[in-house]
Structure 1
């Protein structure tokens, strides 16, 4: 992964679908920061996750942002103990069904083969399928929104006591701890 990707995107979430939702930061702040500002940014993010596409159209970007927001709203609803909106569930299921990516093991690593005709739809299908696995799986009760200032990012709390509060200790957790130490 190149330094450019790390500078633009947060790639530290262990759940691929939640890493995708982190392409917007500061969700609860005054001004959320959109990182998928053009098709090239989406292409860069997909490439960094192993979903290499050669070109993304404006329609592909619009579809990706729609999927991302549906995943985020469903995850946030589950984290709050609420029922997701049917429209968001339809978006997720339709996107997953439209993808034709094939899982592959190459050089000892898992990856994806996308079709030549619909690579962006295939990549979005992978993201939607990953979201379905997490949002509807046995660990759905461990889905949380980050308590970091302005963040509200989704994460899967895999801690033994299920008491994790931040999407990442390296970012949000450190910010909270640093602000506590300077306030003392």
Structure 2
């Protein structure tokens, strides 16, 4: 992964669909930061996650942002113990069903083969399928929103006691600990 991608995107979430929702940061602040500002940035993010698309159009970007926000809203609803909006669920199901990516094992690593005709749609289908797997799976009660200042990012709490509070200790958790030290 190039340094540019690391600086541009948060790639530390172990759940691919939640990593995608992190293309907007500081969601709970007064000024959320959109990172998918044009098709080139979506292409870069997809390639960094192993979903190697060759071209992304403005309509592809619009579809991706719509999917991302549906994933985020469903995940946040589950984290709050609320039902998901049926429109968002429908979006996830439609995008997942439209994808034609095939799982592949290459060089000992799992990856995806996208079709040549609809690679971005296939990539979005992978993201929707991964979201459905987590949002509807047995660990869905462990989905949380980050408590870091301004963050509200989604994460899957895999801690033994299910008491994790931050999407990442290296970012949000570290900020909170530093601010506590500064107060003392």
1:11 counterpart SS class? coil
Deviation string for 1:94-122 (max 9, x for gaps)? 00000000000001110000000000000
2:166 counterpart SS class? coil
TM-score (norm 1): 1.00
Number of the residue aligned with 2:15: 15
1:93 counterpart SS class? helix
Number of the residue aligned with 1:154: 154
Distance in 1 of aligned mates of 2:45 and 2:171: 19
Q: Indicate yes or no: 2:121 matched with 1:124.
A: no
Distance in 2 of aligned mates of 1:23 and 1:114: 22
Deviation string for 1:19-65 (max 9, x for gaps)? 00000000010100000000000000000000010000000000000
Which ranges in structure 2 are unaligned for 5 or more consecutive residues?
none
List structure 1 segments (4+ residues) > 2 angstroms apart after TM superposition.
Answer: none
Deviation of 1:89 after TM superposition, in Å, equals 0.2
Aligned residues: 184
Which ranges in structure 1 are unaligned for 5 or more consecutive residues?
none
TM-score (norm 2): 1.00
Residue correspondence of structure 1 range 162-173 to structure 2 within 5 A: 162-173=162-173
Number of the residue aligned with 1:179: 179
Deviation of 1:142 after TM superposition, in Å, equals 0.2
Distance in 2 of aligned mates of 1:7 and 1:173: 18
Distance in 2 of aligned mates of 1:168 and 1:82: 24
Deviation of 1:147 after TM superposition, in Å, equals 0.0
Distance in 2 of aligned mates of 1:7 and 1:16: 18
